[in-house]
């Protein structure tokens, strides 16, 4: 029932796991094209992970109340919000797909997801993907020792709703470390100055799910896939972030990660991961 604080050794482990998750997404990026199935992406992702001395955390992951997750990654297409299960259906031009990967390297978890536009998509779909990326960063820049979790949620919600997008409430970011999902919950909505205070050495994910329509979601009969009730498009981005005294270090950056928006202060960690 407590939030874990990573010591120097834990931070080294979390950096390596986070970097590997980012590099896995870099490896998958050129594959996400019309005609490939999400099962093919899943098989390639798992093989790459194993070849890099790591394990796919989602495979057989079974939190209470769930059947074991059957695949190595999550692929959530169009109105799917999260936890989409890869299958044999080919991706088609105009789809937007979230690929969410979590690797376990030397016992530490790295968790990250990105949106991919398959071929050319509608302006509305591209805008949703871009604004959700920006929303994630509005949350990330609030991270520092002494800040409240509510500051993160508020920043994301305020930005999203000002753009006419809705914030999914049922799923949230989380502490992460030796376990996939640790305390605390990181809500993507809220009030400034509320909830737990962050401390240096905490590692959390920030992973907002934003809908073009209403915020309500439902679970499909497979027990995993979450979709928007109104079938509107949904997008999500995720990074794993270390809390530091002076701010944050994004652990899942890699050379292929889309650049942070211009409002994000340049830090040595950002500059080195981007090179
Ligand atoms: N990667 C997801 C997250 O960001 C969790 C997926 S759980 C799974 O927390 F079992 F669906 F893989
Ligand atoms: Co996560
Ligand atoms: Co994830």
Closest ligand, as measured to the CA of 204: 2
CB within 8 Å of 127: residues ≥ 6 apart: none
Q: What is the pLDDT of residue 275?
A: 40
Q: What is the pLDDT of residue 271?
A: 45
Distances (CA, A) of 58 to 42, 91, 108, 160: 11, 21, 14, 28
Low-confidence ranges of the chain (pLDDT < 70): 1, 268-275
- How many domains are contained in the chain? 1
- In ligand 1, the atom with minimum distance to the C-alpha of 171 is 9
d(CA 156, CA 150): 10
Q: What is the pLDDT of residue 266?
A: 82
Listed residue (69, 84, 157) closest to 115, CA to CA = 84
Let me know the angle formed at the C-alpha of 241 by 237 and 246, rounded to the nearest 5 degrees.
130
Region of 151 (left: φ > 0; alpha: ψ -120 to 50; beta: rest) is alpha
**Residue 275 domain flag:** no
- Domain containing residue 201: CATH number: 3.90.230.10
Q: What is the pLDDT of residue 274?
A: 45
Q: Is the CB of 111 under 6 A from ligand 1?
A: yes
Cα–ligand 3 centroid distance for 241 (angstroms): 12
Q: Tell me: the pLDDT tens digits for 111-123?
A: 999 999 999 999 9
**Residue 150 domain flag:** yes
**Residue 274 domain flag:** no
Q: Which residue out of 42, 74, 112, 252 has the highest number of ligand 1 atoms within 8 Å of its CB and is therefore the one to mutate?
A: 74
**Residue 1 domain flag:** no
Q: Is the CB of 42 under 6 A from ligand 1?
A: no
Domain encompassing residue 186: 8-269
**Residue 138 domain flag:** yes
């Amino acid at each position: 029932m407590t939030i874990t604080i990573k010591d120097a050794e834990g931070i080294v482990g979390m950096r390596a796991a986070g970097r590997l998750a980012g590099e896995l997404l870099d490896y998958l990026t050129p594959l996400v094209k019309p005609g490939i199935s999400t099962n093919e992406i899943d098989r390639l992702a798992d093989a790459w992970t194993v070849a890099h001395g790591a394990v796919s955390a989602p495979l057989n992951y079974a939190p209470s109340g769930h059947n074991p997750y059957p695949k190595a990654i999550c692929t959530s297409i169009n109105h799917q919000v999260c936890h989409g299960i890869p299958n044999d259906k080919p991706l088609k031009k105009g789809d937007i797909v979230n690929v969410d990967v979590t690797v376990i390297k030397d016992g530490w978890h790295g968790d990250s997801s990105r949106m991919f536009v398959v071929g050319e998509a509608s302006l509305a779909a591209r805008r949703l993907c871009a604004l959700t990326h920006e929303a994630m960063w509005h949350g990330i820049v609030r991270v520092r020792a002494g800040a409240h979790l509510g500051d993160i949620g508020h920043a994301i919600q305020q930005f999203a709703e000002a753009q006419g997008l809705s914030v999914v409430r049922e799923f949230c970011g989380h502490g992460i470390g030796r376990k996939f999902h640790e305390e605390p919950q990181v809500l993507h909505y809220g009030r400034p100055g509320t909830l737990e205070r962050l401390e240096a050495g905490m590692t959390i994910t920030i992973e907002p799910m934003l809908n073009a329509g209403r915020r309500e979601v439902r679970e499909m009969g497979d027990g995993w896939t979450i979709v928007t009730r109104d079938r509107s498009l949904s997008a999500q981005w995720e990074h794993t972030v270390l809390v530091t005294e002076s701010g944050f270090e994004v652990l899942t950056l890699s050379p292929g990660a889309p650049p942070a928006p211009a409002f994000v202060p340049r830090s040595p960690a950002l500059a080195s991961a981007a090179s």
